[in-house]
Chains A and B, each alone.
Chain A
């Protein structure tokens, strides 16, 4: 991003619209003024950082925190990016199967910006952590709320991108999500089986 673009604060629109108007966000992504592709990766990076901070605040503090924040953060960010790429490709493939145009370069920034609600979990939860007032309950509640909010952002974005109704956009969203969830679940089972058999 050029410095003049940075000064005009046009980049801030992506963050603003991801919160208040996902359809407008999708329109801005398509317009590419400025190109949000690389900027959008700031959000999953920050989301990984904030998630680890939140869990560290609620858990038992030890010097392992510094490893979590360095190696752990890089690891979580990389895994998130891989999942974003895989999921975007899958959504694109499903959209094409429905006879819609494939625009994976627009989908990746959309999914990246959809991580925005997760950034608000930490500030929302901080008073409960400091006051030790059922922090785990509120963490779970806030995480569920942020997850639903993320789904709404992505579905509305897909709906705007392909000019289709919300219901069809939801189907395009859900099919790859289910496939990805099942694949990850099976991979996890295989990994656990492998580790246990290796150790024993």
Chain B
């Protein structure tokens, strides 16, 4: 009996040993994975930094469940981080955006122009769509790659609001408006727009449009007339954009990274630092908004001038 008891204790000890081995095994795998992930997020040697411009551009986008901000401010912050890091010798801006608000787009554009002024090469890689404000951002870069099928162009400005006057009349709804000046309810949805208001807004649009054309011309180092010739809001493919000198070459994201390495004089195998989220953050980031109802802010109209492609 004594022998059997000792054998049982030996079996129990073996189970404990297996558990310890399993814990060590998992811990080592986690360590290995974490260091591998860190290697591509925190720059340790000279390499290329990646910045992603995804979706409509607004100044402050919603934070995800981890409190990570999005929008132009987050993009500018990421650009500043890369600028401050001495190991970042070139930057690739991956753009997949139909554009967005004027101010937000200009913030990113100006930041990229500052990086160019500091002799940090910036290469744009256009994804599915890089139209209007998306292209505005790209035009600030030293070199632009577009895929053959990328939808780009749409150089122009738009502002819009629905005219619900006829609907209001049909239901007998009248709005009581008390205003301090005659233009205070400009773009109001419950009445027709006056010719004066239209002219006022048109001036606003023209001003933003001229800024757009001027900035594209500066960024692309071409004349404003060349830009104006195609700046009528038209969209085009990457191939067409190449013919109109809006992009420098057709190519993929990898081509853009290689070009950034070349412009910075980096070896072809230098690391690429992508500030993308951890897998868990990505999952929750994707889920963010799934269960979201309509918030108050979405119920109220907001007047926005946008560099945006609206199919």
Contacts and interface: CB of A to CB of B under 8 A. Distances in A.
A16 B8 contact: yes
Interface string A5-16: 000011011011
Contacts of A63: 30, 34
A75 to B, nearest CB: 18
Interface stretch (B10-18, B118-126, B183-191, B193-201): B10-18
Interface string A53-94: 110110011111100010000000000000000000000000
A9 B22 CA distance: 27
A12 B5 contact: yes
Interface in B14-36: 14-15, 18-19, 21-23, 25-27, 29-30, 33-34
A123 interface: yes
Interface in B265-303: 279-280, 291
Given A15-B8, A126-B22, A61 B2 contact: no
B5 A62 contact: no
Interface residues of B, number: 26
A110 to B, nearest CB: 18
Nearest to B33: A61
A50 B12 CA distance: 13
A200 B294 CA distance: 11
B182 interface: no
A76 to B, nearest CB: 15
Contact of A122 (B7, B12, B22, B280): B22
A12 B9 CA distance: 7
B13 to A, nearest CB: 11
A199 interface: yes
Contacts of A152: none
B29 A123 contact: no
Given A9-B2, A12-B9, A53 B26 contact: yes
B170 interface: no
B30 A69 contact: no
Given A9-B2, A9-B6, A61-B30, A122 B19 contact: yes
A119 interface: yes
Contacts of B11: 15
A53 B23 contact: yes
B20 to A, nearest CB: 10
Nearest to B17: A123
A57 B25 contact: yes
A199 B291 contact: yes
A161 interface: no
B26 to A, nearest CB: 5
B4 interface: yes
A123 B291 contact: no
B280 A49 contact: no
Contacts of A49: 19
A180 interface: no
Contacts of B12: 12, 15
Contacts of A123: 14-15, 18
A46 B25 contact: no
A61 B29 contact: yes
A160 B26 CA distance: 42
A62 B19 contact: no
B29 to A, nearest CB: 4
A20 to B, nearest CB: 9
A69 B15 contact: no
A69 B23 contact: yes
B8 A57 contact: no
B22 A53 contact: yes
Given A62-B30, A63-B34, A16 B5 contact: yes
B32 to A, nearest CB: 9
A54 B15 CA distance: 13
A123 B5 CA distance: 21
B96 to A, nearest CB: 27
6 contacts: A16-B5, A56-B26, A61-B33, A123-B18, A126-B22, A200-B291
Closest 6 CB pairs of A and B: A9-B5, A12-B8, A16-B8, A12-B5, A199-B291, A61-B29
Given A61-B26, A62-B33, A65-B27, 4 more contacts: A61-B30, A122-B15, A123-B14, A199-B291
